[in-house]
Amino acid sequence: MNRLLKEPIFYFLLIGCLIFLLDDAINDSVESREDIIFTSEDRDRLVAQYTQNWGEPPTQETLDKLTQDYIDSEIYYKEALKLNLDHNDEIIKRRLRQKYEFVAEDLADVVEPTEEELQSFYKNNINLYQAPVKLSFHHYYVNPDKHKDVDGQAQLLYKRLSNQEPHDIGDAGDNSHIPTLQTTAGEKEISRVFGAVFAQELFDEPTVGWKGIVGSGYGLHIVYVDLIEESKVLPFDEVSDDVIVDWKTDNRSMFKEELIKSVRDQYKIVRRDE
């Protein structure tokens, strides 16, 4: 008994019982008890969730357990609110804020943009709808596993190739699983193949001709840039689907901001931190 008295849970349960007895004494009627309403929609949702998780609908016995668990959760939730257990709980606050923002986004998504609004958004955000700079280039590989002095080997290869054009060279360098000629690829595409450092080196003030020795995760490459395809604005018809997505994203953000401004005016903010 002494051990029980030292446990915090004992006092928690005691407080809960006192609140229950006090509530029962004040109301003194069966009607004062709160109703937990379980609807057919609730049942269907439980069945759908179980089916999604387990690949088959629940048996009646399982559904009965799921139903009882749902009802118990509702009871715990209501009792926790009575004890003010949600007060100053940062996790609950963040979750409720998130749900409120989801509601705001759903309301914003009801609005569909007009053609004029999409065209205006496209023109005001034209920088979002530009095709990136693209390069075509030859690379001649120097494999570090095949040469003791890989830097020296790369210098020798570059010296031999740099006074020629790629179409006069033929095979040169070490064998590589990556084709020697890479055509019209953007920085992101090249980065995925050769790595970010290699791609950045090529796109840093690109010019047609020999770029020199460029390193990658594979080793060293003697690079010749054949073609530069400059950045260009993509026509509206080509990016209309992207414009719709971007417009809706922007509209959600604007709607949430306007909503919180209108709600904020309903509160008196008292600052006691100065």
> Do 138 and 226 belong together in one domain?
yes
- Tens of pLDDT along 96-123? 888 888 887 887 788 888 999 999 999 9
Position 174 in a domain: yes
- Integer angstrom CA distances of residue 183 from 65, 134, 143, 204, 232: 61, 9, 22, 18, 18
Chain centroid to Cα 134, Å, comes to 27
Give the per-residue pLDDT at 3. Answer: 42
Give the per-residue pLDDT at 1. Answer: 45
Give the per-residue pLDDT at 29. Answer: 43
Domain with residue 221: its CATH number is: 3.10.50.40
- List the domain range (segments joined by +) for residue 52: 2-91
Instruction: Please state the domain count of the chain.
Output: 3
d(CA 162, CA 225): 12
> Do 110 and 141 belong together in one domain?
no
State which residues of the chain have pLDDT below 50. 1-16, 25-32
Position 260 in a domain: no
> Do 146 and 198 belong together in one domain?
yes
